[in-house]
Structure 1
Amino acid sequence: MDNITLIGMPGSGKSTVGVVLAKTLGMDFVDTDLMIQKREGKLLQRILDEQGIKRFLEIEEEVIRNLSCRGCIVAPGGSAVCREEAARHLKRLGRVVYIRLPLPDLALRIHNIKTRGIAAEPGQTLESIYELRCPLYEKYADITVDAEGKTVEQLVTEIVSKLKTP
């Protein structure tokens, strides 16, 4: 089976759902945020603080464009769609699933936007990031699942079902 990439806002559950989906389908799991941290030897927030958002997005794009795997569930950072070449590469790797969660639900999950390693310009709010990125998630998704009010298991079941539909 080709790769399956999960995209969506920070806090939408990409990594959590990705691990369970990988176990369910017998696939490996790849988290590109962890790859960035390992490559740079720093936490995401430290990279953002020291090098700025522009350089962070360049690093993220480099890591994603160099990603070569088969049979993996890939969970990139929420900003992966901000660079067209990175998003295109994810589509080349396999099907892309957008985990959509409404802004009020995200706001309940994310309390540390300034320290969580979220790629944001100074002064940008969760709402402005959401408004900027949602059209990009829609653009690059092959499949969209609504996460509102669903458990991880329910999302995994829905994703598996939609993946079987041609």
Structure 2
Amino acid sequence: MPQTDPTRNIVLIGMPGSGKSTVGVLLAKRLGMGFVDTDLLIQEKAGRTLQDIVDQEGYKELRHIEEQVLLDLNVQHQIISTGGSAVYSAEAMQQLKANGVAVFLDIPLKLVIERIGDHSARGISRRPDQSLHALFEERLQLYRRYADLTVSGEGRNQDEVCEAVVKGLCSDPVR
């Protein structure tokens, strides 16, 4: 088992359906760390679901609330599962990376569609005229920009993704 810096966080980024929450819980158990799901923090702060925010006030409001939650987050030795749109805030990502390593859980678009099904009910932060394919392409560039470590989820179950992250962190000098 890798020794992790007791103050450093592991920040999971990626598309909805990439396994950030599920793999995050597995990683927390495997590494003896805490777990934070920022989507839940957003819902708690707003007092409603992500989809309600998008439906009532639009995707920009969801991104604004998400940015505030991320900027206010002050934790150590946690696995942080971010919302898929966290990467739209350079300031928030800079802060997360200042005390953590960003791990991109990379899955292809076909797997995103397979896993999330009807994305209109997922509270996904996207422009009303933007297709899921266009959103995927846009975000892919941002995930790659911020990732310290990229782990492919294609052809792997969540346990295998968790192990791949642990192995990647063991060999990654960023930690």
TM range (shorter): over 0.9
Superposed displacement of residue 135, structure 1: 0.6
**What runs of 5+ residues in structure 1 fail to find an aligned partner?**
none
CA distance in 2, matches of 1:131, 1:9: 11
**How big is the shift at 1:123?**
2.3
2:11 is matched with: 5
SS in 1 for 2:10: strand
The CA distance in 1 between the partners of 2:66 and 2:51, in whole Å, is: 13
| Distance of 1:12 and 1:123 partners within structure 2 | 23
In the alignment, does 2:77 pair up with 1:71?
A: yes
RMSD: 0.8
CA distance in 2, matches of 1:93, 1:118: 27
Find the counterpart in structure 1 of residue 114 from structure 2: 108
Structure 1 equivalent of residue 28 of structure 2: 22
User: Structure 1 length normalisation: TM-score?
Assistant: 0.97
Post-superposition offset of 1:120: 1.1
Confirm whether residue 32 of structure 1 aligns to residue 38 of structure 2.
Answer: yes
1:159 aligns with 2:168: no
Q: How far 1:41 sits from its partner (Å)? A: 0.6
Residue 56 (structure 1) shift? 1.2
Segment drifting more, 45-54 vs 136-145: 45-54
Shift of 1:141: 0.4
Secondary structure, in 3 states, of the residue corresponding to 2:59? helix
> What residue number does 1:125 align with?
131
SS for the counterpart of 2:169 is: helix
For 1:30, the aligned partner's letter is: V
Spell out structure 1 runs of 4+ moving beyond 4 A: none
Q: Please state whether the residue corresponding to 2:155 is helix, strand or coil.
A: coil
Report deviation, 1:80. Answer: 0.2
* 2:142 paired residue number: 136
Give yes or no for the alignment of 1:42 onto 2:57. no
Aligned equivalent of 2:67: 61
- For residues 77 and 6 of structure 1, the distance between their equivalents in structure 2, rounded to whole angstroms, comes to 9
* Structure 2 spans left out of the alignment, 5+ residues: none
Partner amino acid, structure 2, of 1:8: G
Please state how far the C-alpha of 1:55 moved relative to its aligned partner: 1.4
Shift of 1:136: 0.4
- Judge which range, 119-128 or 56-65, deviates more: 119-128
